[in-house]
Amino acid sequence: MITTQHIALDSCVVISMIEDPRLGMKLKQGLKGKSVKIVLCDIVLSEVNRVRGYAKDYIISKISKILGRDIELQQTNSQEKEDAQKLSGQFLECHNGDNIILALCKIRDYILVTFDRALLRTCNFVGVVACSPLQAGGI
């Protein structure tokens, strides 16, 4: 039985892929032949909208087209938001937004793809598998 792995994209990766689709092509190549679902959570969509002004539908269609995969949308729940607050208390570099996507990945056993070095370190501490988009072939 093949298990499908869920991969959550951080807002920095989403913005980078939209503004330079070559990055997305590298990620697409790394995921080729693997059973994965690409996840965008509500917090990432909100952050990308706030920082760059891209609409939710534009983000979803652009990332889906670049990666050649359907995008799964996830709403963070109250448990994830509660855990996010605990993570912020434990890790000072885990600010609002990062803490929520980290909690979501921890609770749902998702792999996080991010460029954020501090977030990558924090993932290591809390037991969340994470990597840069350039290392995604190892997933």
> Each residue of 82-105: b (16+ CB within 10 Å) or e?
ebbeebbeebeebeebbbbbbbbb
The domains of the chain are located at 5-138
Return the H-helix or E-strand segment holding 72. strand 71-74
Cα distance between residue 87 and residue 104, in whole Å: 11
pLDDT of residue 47: 93
Cα distance between residue 66 and residue 114, in whole Å: 17
- Tens-place pLDDT, residues 52-64: 999 999 999 999 9
pLDDT of residue 31: 87
Sheet holding 36-41: strands in order across? 71-74, 36-41, 5-9, 111-113, 130-131
pTM above 0.75, yes or no: yes
- Tens-place pLDDT, residues 10-33: 999 999 999 999 988 888 988 888
pLDDT greater than 90 at residue 139 = no
pLDDT greater than 60 at residue 75 = yes
As its CATH architecture, domain 5-138 has: 3-Layer(aba) Sandwich (3.40)
